[in-house]
Structure 1
Amino acid sequence: MDGHGLASVIHRAAGDPVLPGDVTARARDLGPLESPLIWLSLASAAVAVLAVVVALGYRRRVRRWGCTAFGVLLLLAAVTALNSYVGYVRTSDDLARLLQRGPGAVHLAGRLLDDGREAPAPASASAPHESAGTAAAGQRIDVVDLPDPAHGIPSGSTYVILPPGYDTDPARRYPVVYLIHGYPFGGPRDWLTSGDAPGTLLALQQANVIAPMIVVSVDMTAGNPSTDWECLNVPGGPQLESYLAGTVVPAVDRRYRTLADRTHRALGGMSGGGFGALNIGLHHVGEFATLVIALPYDDLNDSVGILGGNQAAIAANTPRRYLPAMEFPAPISVMLAVGTGAPTDVTTAHRIAGELRARGQEAVVHAERGFNHTWHTARATLPYLLAFADEGFRGSPTTS
């Protein structure tokens, strides 16, 4: 057992953590609103209504109301089936926060459904340690507004998950993992809801798998979540890479008791946020020693248009092009997490890992059986990603 008392995790030679079964089972579990029973029940009800309409179709009122009910039930079945597959809305709280993004009556319905728990309110810049919300078992969740007009970033909500004991041990400093949401229509709250980062952190810490750490879910929407920004410095648009590395990281280091050096700092994300973490991490090896990426890709593909045909910018932001010849001023460790049900992700992850190893860097691919390119995979692999980050933190001397 090492200095942190972390006896419950055994590490393979390749660096892929082997975690307690209760932690991994919890991460793979479906939330109540993800159950296939919901859409199966709705689909069955739609079929039953259709049968009634067919049997009593000669009655105009039955036909009119029956067809309407059939359509509504079929739509709800389709939506809930999609959610069961993707894993975006786990609980009624998740649904409430999703509805609150909508206008008018939809927003009001979300407000009524929201019970107020784990829903932080923004903390002011002048009061950086003001509690913006309380999570279970001593965690604290702050949400910090970090506007950066110089980089084209308006007001937003970056969530900071502080570990139990943060407020009672003022001398202790913590490593930090930065997580980026997916694109488009993603947001920083997704890692708290769909990704269940607070619950995963707590489960890992209670099992003595990881030492306490700070996790920051960064707002990389630039005020427009419908745009697939890919965390880029967009010509004539928001400079998201510069914002994260040059604004968010220093702001977190100033406001919180972090271990403010590269070896105690990890960057990760899922899907589009995973691409951003890979690209930004490779551009900023001096700031991040560890990358933890779910559902990775290394090419802009359909998002290349965001760079407006600027060939130099495209080449500089396509890891598949520049990684094979990249020089590393400092070593990095990378974990790439995929679901075996998404063969393209698996191929891409192994390609990226191979290129990194060819450049002398540590790279691990973790494959989660039976999952696809969805939030289910991101949530199921998050314990491995955080444990991998912790492994790097524990192997680094404290310098601040």
Structure 2
Amino acid sequence: MGLTSRSLEYAVAAAAVVCVGLTLWLWPRFAGRGARPLLGRLGVIAGTQLVIVAALGLAVNANFQFYASWHELLGLYDDAPAAVGKWGDGGAAGPVGDPSKGLVQASGPDGLDKVHGLPKGAPATAGRVESVRIVGKRTRAVDPAYVYLPPQYFQPQYARQRFPVVVALSGYPGGTFLLGQHLRLPQTAAGLIRAGRMQPTVIVMMRPTIAPPRDTQCVDVPGGPQAETFFARDVPDALRSRYRVGHDPGGWGVMGYSSGGSCALQLAMRHDRTYTSAAALSPDYKVSDDPTTGDLFGGGRDRVRRREEHDLMWRLRRLPAPRVDVLIGTSRSGEKNYPAARAFLAAVKPPMTADSVVLAHGSHNFATWRQELPAALEWMSRSLTFPEDVVGNS
């Protein structure tokens, strides 16, 4: 049974109920003194607790889709993050795809069938959300994605138009399911487009790590996964090969929440010829090693330089500002990063521009990000070019 299957969840929940019943029935038999009754009591307590925790863990994972499969949970990939010292082979760590079969490949639902409130009806009226896998032409990395195509994408009057794109990144260890079910990104975008508050836009929902369970932080790890190259070069190439989307950077934006927001800022500021707009909800402003990332910057004389260049405050102080627009979402109380957000916004200088969505109260959670999302999407819509060009002319 799959890790997120309802049958497994129900089976373990039933086992938990049985274990509680057995504990109540067997407890009087272990009431005596001595080693055997003591071990018996410890055994039934430990067994019951283990099954209850497993049932709760499966229920939480089924709801939030932290891990989509047993392989992902256990990290059973070739050259998985546990073997940091063995990484190499051009950085092909984690799941590896075959670009010769297409850069955007059809996949199973990957949780899309469990997302509530998706647009329903004819695509030309309601739009469509597809579940695919994106394969890197350079990195050979493979990452699942949901792709929201607005109704206009299917309407005859737009048949020769290229659409703007927003690449949306989840936090870590979340995934595409959270962007659909809990952030409600495609549902919110569909409503804004229907109301005329957002221009028709293709939205590509992805997780920021390409070598799960390692948190790759959208960094090209020396001798390891090339996450930055994947999102800055492979993803745009893949999407252009499959969808009617813009060729000019003015039609490309990137957004995310938590570590996905950090990636969005990193990608826009480091690759302004790919993404010209970034919306970051509750981001960090520099990349640091921690137990989930491992060593992101490698050794040698270039280690300090690589780390500094992923510190966005350092970039604003030391390097020419990129020609990008950024939006920061934060809260005056409840968000620990509010002082850092203020410092970042104050440090922005032309030609870079910065705006903000600042709530009076908000925590690092989906309730906060859902409040900020409509304003972020409308801001992104104003920043992106549409219609960009005519299919066949570029």
TM-score range normalised by the length of the shorter chain: 0.5 to 0.7
Rounded Cα–Cα distance in structure 2 between residues aligned with 1:244 and 1:321 = 22
Which has the higher Rg, Structure 1 or Structure 2? 2
* Partner in structure 2 of residue 202 of structure 1: 190
Q: Which amino acid aligns with 2:162?
A: R
The question of whether the paired residues in 1 share the 8 Å contact of 2:136 and 2:238 is answered with no
Equivalent residue for 2:320? Answer: 327
Q: How does 1:215-234 map to 2 (within 5 A)?
A: 215-218=203-206, 220-222=208-210, 224-234=211-221
Q: Quick one: structure 1 residues 80 and 239, their matched pair in 2 at CA, closer, same or farther if it must change by over 3 Å?
A: closer
Partner SS state of residue 225, structure 2:
coil
How far apart, in 1, do the equivalents of 2:62 and 2:188 lie? 17
1:240 to 227, 251, 264: 227
Report matched runs for 1:26-37 at 5 Å.
Answer: none
User: Match of 1:216, SS?
Assistant: strand
Q: 1:256 aligns with which of 219, 237, 243?
A: 243
After superposition, give the CA deviation of every residue in 1:114-159 in whole Å (9 maximum; x if it has no partner). Answer: xxxxxxxx999559697977953332314143133x4x44333233
Q: Which residue of 1 aligns with 2:174?
A: 186
- 1:342 is displaced (CA, Å) by 3.9
Q: Distance in 2 between matches of 1:276 and 1:96?
A: 20
Report the AA paired with residue 199 of structure 1.
Answer: Q
User: Relative to structure 1, is the Cα distance of residues 320 and 355 closer, same or farther in structure 2, using a 3 angstrom cutoff?
Assistant: same
* CA deviation string 1:203-232 (max 9, x = no partner): 32333321221011245433x211121101
Alignment-derived partner of residue 164 in structure 2? 175
* SS of aligned partner of 2:254: strand
Measured after TM superposition, the shift of residue 163 of structure 1 is 1.3
Structure 1 equivalent of residue 77 of structure 2 = none
SS at match of 1:186: coil
Closer/same/farther in 2, CA of residues 221 and 71 from structure 1, 3 Å limit: same
In the alignment, the residues of structure 1 paired with residue 331 and residue 57 of structure 2 have an alpha-carbon distance, to the nearest angstrom, of 22
Structure 1 residue 241, shift from structure 2 partner: 1.6
| Kept in 2: contact 1:146–1:158 (CA 8 A) | no
CA offsets per residue over residues 250-270 of structure 1, 9 Å max, x none?
Answer: 221232112332222111122
| Displacement after TM superposition at 1:234 (Å) | 1.2
**Which residue is 2:94 aligned to?**
none
* Structure-to-structure mapping, 1:107-122, within 5 angstroms: none
1:308 to 290, 294, 298: 298
CA contact (8 A) 1:132 1:141 kept: no
> What residue in structure 2 maps to residue 363 of structure 1?
355
1:283 equivalenced with 2:270 (yes/no): yes
Q: Distance in 2 between matches of 1:263 and 1:101?
A: 35
Deviation of residue 165 (structure 1)? Answer: 3.6
Query: Do the aligned residues in 2 keep the contact of 1:340 with 1:369 (CA within 8 Å)?
Result: yes
Asked if the contact 1:290–1:392 (Cα under 8 Å) also holds between the matched residues in 2, the reply is yes
Instruction: State the Cα distance separating 1:314 from its structure 2 match.
Output: 0.8
Q: Is the 8 A contact 2:278 2:327 kept in 1?
A: yes
Question: 3-state DSSP class of the match of 1:251?
Answer: helix
Separation in structure 1 between the aligned mates of residue 45 and residue 106 of structure 2, nearest angstrom: 53
CA distance in 2, matches of 1:282, 1:231: 13
**Aligned counterparts of 2:345 and 2:284: Cα–Cα separation in 1:** 11
Of 172-181 and 212-221, more deviation after overlay is shown by 212-221
CA contact 2:104–2:238 (8 Å) conserved in 1: no
Aligned residues: 326
Match of 1:214 among 202, 214, 227: 202
Specify the SS of the correspondent of 2:345. helix
Summarize the Cα distance change of 1:128–1:361 in structure 2 as closer, same or farther, 3 Å threshold: closer
Letter of the structure 2 residue corresponding to residue 145 of structure 1: I
Matches within 5 A, 1:1-400: 58=31, 67=45, 71=49, 75=53, 90=63, 97=68, 101=72, 125-126=101-102, 135-137=118-120, 138=123, 139-148=128-137, 150=138, 152-169=139-156, 170-183=159-172, 185-218=173-206, 220-222=208-210, 224-303=211-290, 305-309=295-299, 310-328=303-321, 330=323, 332-339=324-331, 342-357=334-349, 361-367=353-359, 369-372=361-364, 374-393=365-384, 396=385, 398-400=387-389
Which amino acid in structure 2 is aligned with residue 275 of structure 1? Answer: S
Asked if the contact 2:209/2:217 (under 8 Å) is kept, the reply is no
Q: 2:119 is matched by which residue type in structure 1?
A: A
Distance verdict in 2 for CA 1:207–1:51, change over 3 Å: farther
Whether contact under 8 Å (1:346, 1:367) holds in the other structure is: no
Name the SS of the counterpart of 2:154 in structure 1.
coil
* Partner secondary structure for residue 300 of structure 1: coil
Shift of residue 198, structure 1, vs aligned partner: 2.0
TM-score of the superposition, structure 2-length normalised?
0.67
- The TM-score, its normalising length taken from structure 1, stands at 0.66
Partner residue, 2:93:
none
- 1:114 maps to which residue? none
Partner secondary structure for residue 263 of structure 2: helix
SS at match of 1:308: coil
Identity, in percent, stands at: 21
Q: How many Å separate the matches in 2 of 1:242 and 1:386? A: 25
CA RMSD of aligned residues (A): 4.3
8 A Cα contact 2:162 2:245, kept in partner: yes
